[in-house]
Structure 1
């Protein structure tokens, strides 16, 4: 049984450039050793074969560290390897299709950008968390629209599932979002900078 109460704290994503196939397992184990309990495999470019090989190993690693492993977009892969969950965006597979295939026990998170109505809709359908952002310019998603921080405060009033902030979060910007007391903070670049993962995560923690 997946412990959905682990949807809390730093939510660390992989990246095709920053966590290449040769080093991804070593990097993510370092992340998990720092106490991070939620990681996501996000690679839009890896072949199905390469992605499956990596994700099987990452799921086993998360099991070892009692953490949650989520795959971005690749529904069939998440089902095939029995991953803990799936994250879907506006242009990805539908929530309904994902839930039908994965079942109610798996975690499904939804990107909601700055749209509280979208978040309310999917929370009512059973989404396990909703993600808002980008809140700051993001080096990994340079074309993302930046949404106002106040969306988090408004969302907290009406949404009863964990809320995640994403987009350009660094040690300097995360305190601005912490004031809204949300569940998760999604980070990519700030974790891997200068290959000082342990120091970077320490700086991101409260």
Structure 2
């Protein structure tokens, strides 16, 4: 299977490593049972975490995710791909040394990038044949606080540039997703909408239902 075929859309869960580990792993398993198809470890580590602590947590997450055959990506810290089973990396901005990064990783990996209203990241993604683009933020969100609000016109213009799968993120709920119906996107990226839910399994399933309803 080509790595590109792994990114077909659906619900993309971004994990917050600051959460209590046992709680995070429990919620992760529930979310995967609910149908989450892609995972990322957010670059929001506890201040006390060094390299070995990060590798340990990644190992624990991989042990859960592997049972569901769901790929796990890391936010920004691509060096962690060298000594773990991570499937890829998500960049918040265009990396200045992408060719060097690819040479150092020395294996095939999934790559995604965040895009705001500046379409330069989309052009870079198309030129470098990355696997997906995540637009942040479509709505106000505490966890996506550093993202600007992306206009629907930006997403439409981006689709004229590339056919790379799009994920929409930032403040997306099952209720407001209908406002995005006119846009061409493959999936949604979520943090608190699933991790803070009373039942991550039911929440993930609800996102999938809302997403599928838009595509009918």
1:82 equivalent in alignment to 2:108: no
1:138/1:96 CA distance change after superposition, 3 Å: farther
Match of 2:145, SS?
coil
1:174/1:93 CA distance change after superposition, 3 Å: farther
Work out the CA distance in 1 between the residues paired with 2:190 and 2:90: 15
- TM-score normalised according to structure 1 size: 0.88
Q: How many angstroms does 1:99 deviate by? A: 2.3
| Highest RCO, 1 vs 2 (Cα 8 Å, sep ≥ 6) | 2
- 2:194 and 2:203 in contact (8 A); partners too: yes
Q: How many angstroms does 1:149 deviate by? A: 1.9
Cα distance per residue 1:36-75 (max 9 Å; x no partner): 1101111422312222111112223222211111111111
Work out the CA distance in 2 between the residues paired with 1:183 and 1:100: 29
1:176 equivalent in alignment to 2:189: no
Query: What is the alpha-carbon root mean square deviation over aligned residues?
Result: 2.2
Counterpart pick for 1:141 among 140, 144, 162: 144
- Structure 1 unaligned runs (5+)? none
Match of 1:127, SS?
coil
- TM-score normalised according to structure 2 size: 0.84
- 2:136 and 2:150 in contact (8 A); partners too: yes
Counterpart pick for 1:67 among 60, 65, 70: 70
Q: How many angstroms does 1:14 deviate by? A: 0.7
Work out the CA distance in 1 between the residues paired with 2:107 and 2:153: 31
Counterpart pick for 2:203 among 181, 200, 206: 200
1:100 equivalent in alignment to 2:73: no
- Structure 2 unaligned runs (5+)? 211-216
Moved over 6 A (4+): none
Work out the CA distance in 2 between the residues paired with 1:177 and 1:26: 31
Cα distance per residue 1:141-184 (max 9 Å; x no partner): 32421121222222122212111211111112222224313122
Who is 2:13 aligned against? 12
Cα distance per residue 1:67-97 (max 9 Å; x no partner): 1111111112122103111111128774334
Who is 1:159 aligned against? 162
Moved more, 162-171 or 96-105: 96-105
